[in-house]
Chains A and B, each alone.
Chain A
Amino acid sequence: EVQLVESGGGLVQPGGSLRLSCAASGFTFSSYWLSWVRQAPGKGLEWVANIKEDGSEKYYVDSVKGRFTISRDNAKNSLFLQMNSLRAEDTALYYCARERWGNHFYGMDVWGPGTTVTVSS
């Protein structure tokens, strides 16, 4: 079964750090772009960052540039999001998602159940 499972969420104080992980199974992990998408409580979806199959390209939404770092370990079928200098507005459910590509981006076809990050004092 194709699956993504996030972990690492929790309660952290403003200015703190957290590292999210996403474990993949059931597909050839190293063949896919991957994204992190977040959803603040009661709000819509916000794309956060993504990373190319071999990790050579990474892109971020402006609001997290310089604070968040996306990475992957293809040997361990794992995706990561290192979050530093956390702010209250980073509070959200964080999803990892697989990007499907044909000759271009087709969409995010596999999602994990998400992990909750709460930034509060």
Chain B
Amino acid sequence: DIQMTQSPSTLSAFVGDRVTITCRASQSFSSWLAWYQQKPGKAPKLLIYKASSLESGVPSRFSGSGSGTEFTLTISSLQPDDFATYYCQQYNSYSRTFGQGTKVEIK
């Protein structure tokens, strides 16, 4: 099975900062990667699909890129509403593995 490793596990940043989260796969796969945001006590929310496509209604400060084994989620200017935990998820025919998560905290 493909394993997904996110870095960093925790990130401290100021409002207005540019933030980048990386997701690395244990082996190369197609770009069927999604990113989610989860706030405490809430269900996850789909942000990005197919590695770089923005889900409807998601602010344009969120963007995704990458292929092969390395993918990134970038928040161009961190807003107070963005402090949350972010997860990547890979797809293959038989599984939907999540990364371990990256918590974005206020600095």
Residues of A bordering B, CB below 8 Å:
35, 37, 44-47, 50, 59, 61-62, 95, 99-100, 102, 104-109, 111-114
Bound together, the chains give a CA A87 to CA B48 distance in angstroms of 34
Given A35-B96, A44-B101, A106-B50, are A114 and B32 also a contact pair (CB < 8 Å)?
A: no
Contact A107 B49 (CB under 8 A): yes
Interface residue B60 (Cβ < 8 Å from any Cβ of A)? no
Interface residue B83 (Cβ < 8 Å from any Cβ of A)? no
Of the residues A47, A102, A109, contact of B97 by C-beta under 8 Å: A47
Considering the complex of A and B, which 8 residue pairs feature the smallest CB-CB distances, nearest first? Answer: A107-B34, A111-B43, A105-B91, A106-B49, A47-B96, A107-B49, A44-B101, A45-B98
Residues on B with beta carbons closer than 8 Å to the beta carbon of A106: 32, 34, 49-50, 53
Contact A107 B94 (CB under 8 A): no
Interface residue B44 (Cβ < 8 Å from any Cβ of A)? yes
Contact flags (1/0) for B32-57 with A, using CB distance below 8 Å? 10101010000111101110010100
User: Smallest CB–CB gap between B13 and chain A, Å?
Assistant: 20
> What bracket does the count of chain B residues touching chain A fall in?
20 to 34
User: Smallest CB–CB gap between B78 and chain A, Å?
Assistant: 21
Classify the secondary structure of A's interface with B. strand
Residues of B bordering A, CB below 8 Å:
1, 30, 32, 34, 36, 38, 43-46, 48-50, 53, 55, 85, 87, 89, 91, 94-101
Bound together, the chains give a CA A35 to CA B95 distance in angstroms of 10
Contact A47 B95 (CB under 8 A): yes
Bound together, the chains give a CA A78 to CA B8 distance in angstroms of 38
User: Smallest CB–CB gap between B66 and chain A, Å?
Assistant: 15
User: Smallest CB–CB gap between A27 and chain B, Å?
Assistant: 15
Contact B32 A45 (CB under 8 A): no
Bound together, the chains give a CA A35 to CA B44 distance in angstroms of 13
Closest to B103 in A: A44
